[in-house]
């Protein structure tokens, strides 16, 4: 990161809604105790997720890829309906104590259900359709996530997919053994050619695709 980029991120952070104290603590804890802390959504993306959920006003939210729980807590802030609920799925059971520790301390503990295991299997066990889906799980499974979620996405429902620019690898030659980049490219092509949706890419952090089912 060059100084100009750092200065711009600092400027943005100072001119958006403040990061809640519990989330700031979770950010620090993740960066000091967890491998690959850059997977955490962070201040800017977290405030965006909260606002998007508030705008969508969903009844049921699905998150694929909890990591340490930062994004789930941000989305929970945006829930407006008294019955609205988030189902979040994390495959790494070693993260469960961290997620549980921070979610239990939040004001939204009763709004969030954590599932540990494979998202494609667990998804089928959750009842009802989804109004808002945040995809941030195993990149190799992005196409499969999309195909599994779309039939259960309500009309007018939203999908937000993270990391769809994949550190710029989507516009570079792809190594034959780079399964993650190949899957991201397949996902992006699926979305681009799906006439049942509206879609736009936001070049925020590692890229977000916003999808609305017609």
Q: Cβ atoms within 10 A of the Cβ of 99, count?
A: 23
Q: Is the pLDDT of residue 52 over 60?
A: yes
Range of the domain at 82: 3-213
Q: What is the pLDDT of residues 81-94, one digit of tens each?
A: 999 999 999 999 99
Average pLDDT over residues 47-60: 98
- Number of residues assigned to the chain: 214
Stated pTM of the model: 0.95
pLDDT for res 3: 53
Alpha-carbon torsion angle 134, 86, 151, 193, nearest 10:
-10
CATH of the domain at 110: 3.40.50.150
pLDDT digits (tens, 9 = 90+) for 152-191: 999 999 999 999 999 999 999 999 999 999 999 999 999 9
Q: Which of 117, 119, 101 is nearest to 109 (CA)?
A: 101
Give 96-126 pLDDT, tens digit per residue.
999 999 999 999 999 999 999 999 999 999 9
pLDDT digits (tens, 9 = 90+) for 10-33: 899 999 999 999 999 999 999 999
pLDDT of residue 5: 66
Domain count, the chain: 1
63-81 burial string, b = 16+ CB within 10 Å, else e? bbbbbbbbbbbbbbbbbee
Give the per-residue pLDDT at 54: 98
CA separation for the pair 20, 56 (Å, rounded): 22
Q: Given a cut of 60, is residue 1 above it in pLDDT?
A: no
H/E element, 13:
helix 3-14
Tell me which DSSP letter residue 205 carries.
T
pLDDT value at 6 more than 80: no
Give the separation between CA 184 and CA 201, rounded to whole angstroms. Answer: 13
């Amino acid at each position: 990161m060059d100084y100009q980029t750092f200065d711009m991120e600092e400027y943005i952070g100072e001119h958006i809604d403040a990061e809640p104290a519990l989330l700031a603590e979770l950010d620090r804890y993740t960066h000091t105790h967890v491998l690959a802390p850059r997977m955490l959504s962070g201040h800017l993306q977290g405030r965006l997720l909260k606002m998007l959920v508030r705008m969508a006003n969903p009844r049921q939210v699905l998150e694929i890829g909890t990591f340490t729980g930062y994004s789930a807590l941000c989305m929970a802030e945006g829930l407006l309906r008294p019955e609205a609920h988030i189902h979040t799925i994390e495959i790494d059971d070693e993260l469960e104590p961290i997620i549980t520790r921070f979610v239990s301390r939040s004001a939204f503990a009763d709004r969030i259900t954590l599932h540990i295991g494979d998202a494609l299997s667990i998804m089928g066990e959750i009842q009802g359709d989804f109004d808002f889906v945040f995809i941030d799980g195993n990149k190799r499974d992005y196409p499969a996530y999309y195909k599994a979620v779309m039939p259960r996405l309500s009309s007018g429902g939203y999908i937000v997919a993270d990391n769809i620019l994949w550190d710029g690898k989507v516009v570079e030659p792809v190594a034959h053994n780079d399964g993650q980049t190949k899957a991201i490219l397949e996902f992006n092509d699926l979305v681009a050619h799906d006439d049942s949706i509206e879609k736009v890419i936001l070049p925020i952090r590692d890229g977000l695709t916003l999808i609305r089912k017609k």
